[in-house]
Structure 1
């Protein structure tokens, strides 16, 4: 019942365009990007995934797929990350995100350093790095507890951290698909041309992702508070105002160790690209 309901909701939102896609005329991102992490927080990762998949496939009838039929992947990654965080598996979400970030940096046409208009260089993935650091900090590991808090500020902070991580993971997945599927279509085949493309995206994606984070956070906080005030929070297991069961110290150490291994791998990739 819930899967069918949220599949329909996602399909409706995904029908409406938002930001244009750079390099492909007549294509755009969809309003479903605002809704996907919300569905993950409400339903959890594994119920949210079929909502995204079937909602995307339904919309193929109205708009042709852009990424060779894999258009469901970015939002699917986003709901997995958001769902894992909201269910207390922050370490796994961070490790998953770190793998995606490492994969993007390792691709041959990914520009790591961007020469800015202000005269200094910054990593293209600077906001991704900040998001990953937030995710493995106390802010990230406290997010599941804050999502279930009755305190409005704590709730907003927990939801905001979760949605930021989800939409950034969605963005890096879109970047991987763009480079592997669309670059050949728009004849971006050299690193110099790719760097020009990423230099333009560099100024746009932080604004785009932060707007999505703010709008989605505002919506989901209002929705959670409305559901709780109506005493209906038992229907959606991820938003009940109750404490989460703490994970064991050993389990958390294992999660931290796994995350640090991926971060070390990412650092080595950065060094190799810089040389």
Structure 2
């Protein structure tokens, strides 16, 4: 049972259906697709499933009520928690190893950088921020020796803010209170990066041709989403196949668990292939 690194929420996964696969195929990638996928697939575990070490967002101890509700709004999660949950869904399907492709800047040779998702998650785990202390309001922090309060941006904050300079300004407005001078905002952002890191970071490798060191900026959430999209890419063909073979309605097919839909489609393909085989010649 995965547990989010920032908020410490224990999560149960609902089995994937065709609706989830269609969401991936139509949404492709990006934070909005990640949020929608996690929101569809995840349910919060009950307190007895989560264990006694589920913690409050301010890190100050057990939060049993946080584990009693069946579901949660993925938009309310810090981006780092969304990243981790997408990585867990990918690991559930394809295992722990992830390969990123790059080109050597020195000789242009192709480089495959192979690494462990578990190791990457461990490297990007939340860490204490020495410059900040928990504030009185749950989920908020205060910079030491400062009148600046801040909270971690949620996925919903980031999606609402948009990109560019205006997006950054909107995030500051939403997540920082009090002194918003440039220095205070930078200090708050450094603390946020420690308390709620995302899975974006560098991966190191060596060129097999010229032995040059290579550093690749990786957005692991997006890599995982791309692989999940690829796994789901057959959903439209499978819906068409089952509708043609059994005259089922689209919604009924999409309601099936993904694994069962795939098995039905494989049976139809095998049956149709057998029907088209030439009959053996008479002896």
On whether the aligned pair clears a TM of 0.5, the verdict is no
Q: TM-score, normalised by structure 1?
A: 0.25
TM-score scaled by length of structure 2 = 0.25
* Larger-Rg structure: 2
Please identify which structure carries the higher helix content: 1
